[in-house]
Amino acid sequence: MLDWYAGHARSLPWRVPPGGERPAGHAYRVWLSEVMLQQTTVAAVRPRWEAWVARWPTVEDLASASDEEIMAAWAGLGYYARARNLVKAARAVAERGGFPQSEAGLRELPGLGDYTAAAIAAIAFGEDAVPVDANVERVVARLFAVDEPLPKARKAIRAEAATIWPEGRAGDFVQAAMDLGATICTARDPKCLLCPVREHCEGYRTGEPERFPVKPPRKAKPERRGAAFWIERDGAVWLVRRPETGMMGGMRALPDDGWTARVDGSGEAPLDGEWEDAGAVTHTFTHARLTLAVKRHRGEGKPSGDGEWWLLDRLDEAGLPTLFAKAADRAIA
């Protein structure tokens, strides 16, 4: 694996080449990449990571930024709890004068679970940690032909992973396993003929490596309906901030009718008067599918409650989550 990695490592902006020296501030860059990459593809992360480190080159810079700026900068990346935790973690790190250097210390920071703490410990600090992400999980499940279905199999997979982890090379090894998982040992249509560890792979021997890891069937997504309200006056639109908890918590948004993933909206508008029908947008979340009607108001009156008039010329800077960016496009069209 390590030999293969030396010749096949992907070139990624947050990564030090195999065997390379770690520069000062590396932990910040690795941490940011790991958090952005949680349930998110490399293709989506790469440009956002570049822009982020250009704007906030160090963890201290990030700790000094406002919540509002940071949440807006995360817009479109999804799983917004990551951004809320990122702010808290950055401030905790700046306060204590640097990142904790151990897996256990890192695990205490908000937003760092078992995987991410282990990954940073291994990649940024050279600790002998065993980070098990979806790639490692898949590679190991195939190597050992683990028949037990997820998530029950996690314990066994973690234990098998530990048996093949090389001492002193955990950082390179986990990155090798992730590159192997991303390019060769892929979820669908694995390229076993190119695999450097094929001879050791029990899954390959079964003839059906793609069967591993065994996954349970998914549940159906509920269909939800709701409405969002576009209130426009003199080249500005009324935006609100969503509550800290729940979907898209802490993000700027259009006012809505109270829909959630569990319940349809009331249809009730935040303002009396004439509402135009601006059509609808559909959006699929992890756990629900939403059809959002967009209603437009260009009359008189100010909506009740907190909010702000946002200039339409600068709407792209508002940091709207994708759902509301779609709704805005619909309202403007």
Kindly list the catalytic residues: 34
Q: Is residue 158 close enough to count as binding DNA by CB under 7 A?
A: no
Number of H helices, E strands in the chain: 13, 6
CB nearer to DNA: pick between 261 and 271: 261
CB of 306 to DNA, least distance (A): 20
Taking CB under 7 A as the rule, does residue 11 contact DNA? no
Among 4, 79, 309, 310, binds DNA (CB under 7 A): 79
4 belongs to the binding site for DNA (CB under 7 A): no
Cβ closest to DNA, residue 99 vs residue 275: 99
From 38-46, 56-64, 160-168, 273-281, span contacting DNA (CB under 7 A): 38-46
- Specify whether the CB–CB gap between 197 and 136 falls below 8 A: no
Residue 197 DSSP symbol: T
148 binds DNA (CB under 7 A): no
Task: State yes or no: residue 151 binds DNA (CB under 7 A).
Answer: yes
Query: What's the number of CA atoms in the CB half-sphere (13 Å) around residue 67?
Result: 11
**Identified binder of DNA from the candidate list 58, 102, 291, 322, rule CB under 7 A:** 322
User: Which residues between 278 and 307 bind DNA (CB under 7 A)?
Assistant: 283-287
Q: Which of 124, 181, 318 is nearest to 238 (CA)?
A: 318
Q: Is residue 39 a contact residue for DNA (CB under 7 A)?
A: yes
| Cα–Cα dist 279/281, whole Å | 7
Select from 227, 228, 232 the least CA-distant residue to 297: 232
- Is residue 32 a contact point for DNA (CB under 7 A)? no
- Asked if 273 contacts 290 with a C-beta cutoff of 8 angstroms, the reply is no
CA distance to 122, 231, 237, 294, 332, per residue, from 313 (Å): 45, 15, 10, 20, 12
What binding mask, one character per residue, do residues 244-283 give for DNA by CB under 7 A, x or -?
Answer: --xxxx----------xxx--------------------x
Lookup: tokens for 289: 């599918």
> According to CB under 7 A, which residues from 98 to 127 bind DNA?
110-117, 119
C-alpha dist (Å) from residue 177 to 60, 182, 205: 32, 9, 19
Closest CA to 203 of 149, 292, 129, 139: 139
By CB under 7 A, is residue 34 in contact with DNA? yes
Instruction: Give the DSSP H/E element, type plus range, for residue 184.
Output: none
- Comparing CB distances to DNA, the nearer of 143 and 247 is 247
| CA dist., res. 261 & res. 83, Å (int) | 21
Q: Check binding of 51 to DNA (CB under 7 A).
A: no
Q: Which of 225, 235, 279 is nearest to 256 (CA)?
A: 225
CB of 146 to DNA, least distance (A): 15
Question: Site for DNA (CB under 7 A): which residue of 85, 101, 102, 291?
Answer: 85
Q: Take residue 279 and report the two structure tokens written for it.
A: 């059509």
Binding site for DNA (CB under 7 A): 12, 14-15, 33-34, 37-44, 76-81, 85, 110-117, 119, 133-135, 138, 151, 175, 178, 181-182, 186-188, 215, 217-219, 246-249, 260-262, 283-287, 321-323
